Amino acid sequence: MVKVLFVCTGNICRSPTAEGVFRKLVEERGLSHEIEIDSAGTGAWHINQAPDPRSQEAARRRGIDLSTQRARQVIPSDFNEFDYVLAMDEGNFDRLAGLCPSGFNSRLSLFLKFAPELGRREVPDPYYGGEDGFDVVLNLIEAASEGLLAEIRVRYL
């Protein structure tokens, strides 16, 4: 079983969206029994809350249901549990690097590493922006999800 953890700041916008998008992709490819998917935040502000309603609505328009997800905070043992710990931006990457136990650094990377064709390193936080920001996030996440799944298939499946 390959395990993937998506991480943003509060686990209510970008990382639950990534969890939902990647889960749908994995299910469509018939790989649910091979890949486990979760998300978390580096902060504790939204623990046990559902994803932001705007994230849920944007995802729902693309056939993705985020409503059952609940926010949690990342913990150091996640690095032992997950094969991929994927940060949405540099700030969260740095926070995760500070939590990462010695010997597990290779599991941590920026999520958009899997979509180099985009020419971007970070998935922007749509929380304080307009509605269109959530669609931008979905577009970036969909592209990186394809790249991530391609790597997992080559490395593990």
Report pLDDT digits (tens) over 12-63.
999 999 999 999 999 999 999 999 999 999 999 999 999 999 999 999 999 9
28 exposure class (CB count in 10 Å sphere: 0-12, 13-18, 19+): exposed
Contact partners, residue 120, CB within 8 Å, separation at least 6: 112, 140
pLDDT at 157: 87
CA atoms lying within 13 Å on the CB side of residue 10: 14
Q: What is the pLDDT of residues 102-136, one digit of tens each?
A: 999 999 999 999 999 999 999 999 999 888 999 99
Q: What is the pTM of this model?
A: 0.98
Res 83 pLDDT > 90: yes
* Domain span holding position 143: 2-155
Of the pLDDT bands very low, low, confident and very high (cuts 50, 70, 90), residue 99 is very high
CATH assignment of the domain containing 91: 3.40.50.2300
Is the distance from CB of 38 to CB of 4 less than 8 angstroms? yes
pLDDT band at 70 (very low <50, low <70, confident <90, very high): very high
Q: Which residues are catalytic?
A: 8, 14, 125
Task: Tell me the mean pLDDT in the region 70-91.
Answer: 98
Residue 93 has pLDDT above 90, yes or no: yes
Using the predicted structure, report yes or no on whether residue 7 has a pLDDT greater than 90: yes
Q: How many structural domains compose the chain?
A: 1
